[in-house]
Amino acid sequence: MNKLAKLVVLTFVFALFCAPLAALAQDASAAPEAATAVVAAENAGFDFSGLYGVGCGLALIGAGIGIGRIGASAVEAMARQPEAAGKIQTAMIISAALVEGVTFFALIVCMLK
**74-to-50, 54, 103, 107 alpha-carbon distances in Å:** 37, 30, 20, 26
pTM: 0.57
Intervals of the chain under pLDDT 70: 1, 7-49, 113
Which of the following CATH numbers is that of domain 3-20+49-112: 3.40.50.300, 1.20.20.10, 3.50.50.60, 3.90.1580.10? 1.20.20.10
| Per-domain boundaries in the chain | 3-20+49-112
pLDDT at 91: 96
